[in-house]
Amino acid sequence: LKTMRFMLLFSRQGKLRLQKWYTATAERDKKKMVRDLMQIVLARKPKMCSFLEWRDLKIVYKRYASLYFCCAVEEQDNELITLEVIHRFVELLDKYFGSVCELDIIFNFEKAYFILDEFLMGGEIQDTSKKSVLKAIEQSDLLQEVSCIQY
């Protein structure tokens, strides 16, 4: 059983900005799940807690400015630490982009993925040091510039 099944980032308008799936799921099912979940989370009021039960999973979500960060974890997981995981990811994005905002993630979505994939693997944290993760991204970016054309 995986601890984290997937992570989604979406805007208040229901636009998907990032989706990372840690279990093999059919495209059609992914679309449906995303749609359902977005609807449920966007309907939540500010006074409500950050956790909700959905299907056989627990959803942990937090809103940062215009973006919702939404993780699906197994029932028995520690929801509070999942909030910290989300927060760490936001901090990494913030450090990398310098006061990150939604637009950064829209225009540099592949970088957001690179950062996420350096931070988590299979839903688990690879490194608990912010510095370490950012350094790896930095170095990878440098490698990239050594290569040819800009995409």
Partner 1 sequence: PLLRELIRTIRTARTQAEEREMIQKECAAIRSSFREEDNTYRCRNVAKLLYMHMLGYPAHFGQLECLKLIASQKFTDKRIGYLGAMLLLDERQDVHLLMTNCIKNDLNHSTQYVQGLALCTLGCMGSSEMCRDLAGEVEKLLKTSNSYLRKKAALCAVHVIRKVPELMEMFLPATKNLLSEKNHGVLHTSVVLLTEMCERSPDMLSHFRKLVPQLVRILKNLIMSGYSPEHDVSGISDPFLQVRILRLLRILGRSDDDSSEAMNDILAQVATNTETSKNVGNAILYETVLTIMDIKSESGLRVLAINILGRFLLNNDKNIRYVALTSLLKTVQTDHNAVQRHRSTIVDCLKDLDVSIKRRAMELSFALVNGNNIRGMMKELLYFLDSCDPEFKADCASGVFLAFTLKTIWLCPLCHFSFLQAGSYVRDDSVPNLIQLITNSVEMHAYTVQRLYKALLDDISQQPLVQVASWCIGEYGDLLVSGQCEEEEPIQVTEDEVLDVLEGLLVSNLSTPVTRGYSLTAIMKLSTRFSSVNRIKKVVSIYGSSIDVELQQRAVERIMKISLIDVALPLPGGPAPAPAPSVPTSQPTFLLDGISSQPLFNDIAAAGENLFDSLCLLSFLFQVNGANIFEWFILFYSTGIPPMTAYNKNGLKIDFTFERANPNPNIAVITIHASNSTEADMTDFVFQAAVPKTFQLQLLSPSSNVVPALNQGTVTQVIRVLNPQKQQLRMRVKLTYTHKGSAFQDLSEVNNFPPQSWQ
Interaction site with partner 1 (CB under 8 A): 2, 16-19, 21-22, 24-26, 31, 45, 47-53, 78-81, 83-85, 88, 106-110, 113-114, 117-118, 121-122, 124-132, 136, 139-140, 143-144, 146-151
C-alpha span between 47 and 116 (Å, rounded): 29
Phi, psi of 5 (to 5 degrees): -85, -45
Phi, psi of 45 (to 5 degrees): -90, 155
Least separation in angstroms between residue 11's CB and partner 1 is: 12
In the complex with partner 1, the residue whose CB is nearer, 75 or 98, is 75
In the complex with partner 1, the residue whose CB is nearer, 48 or 99, is 48
77: three-class secondary structure by DSSP: coil
In the complex with partner 1, the residue whose CB is nearer, 31 or 65, is 31
Nearest by Cα to 10 from 93, 69, 84, 53: 69
Least separation in angstroms between residue 98's CB and partner 1 is: 17
Q: 57 pairs with which residues across the strands? A: 54
In the complex with partner 1, the residue whose CB is nearer, 36 or 84, is 84
Least separation in angstroms between residue 94's CB and partner 1 is: 15
Phi, psi of 101 (to 5 degrees): -135, 175
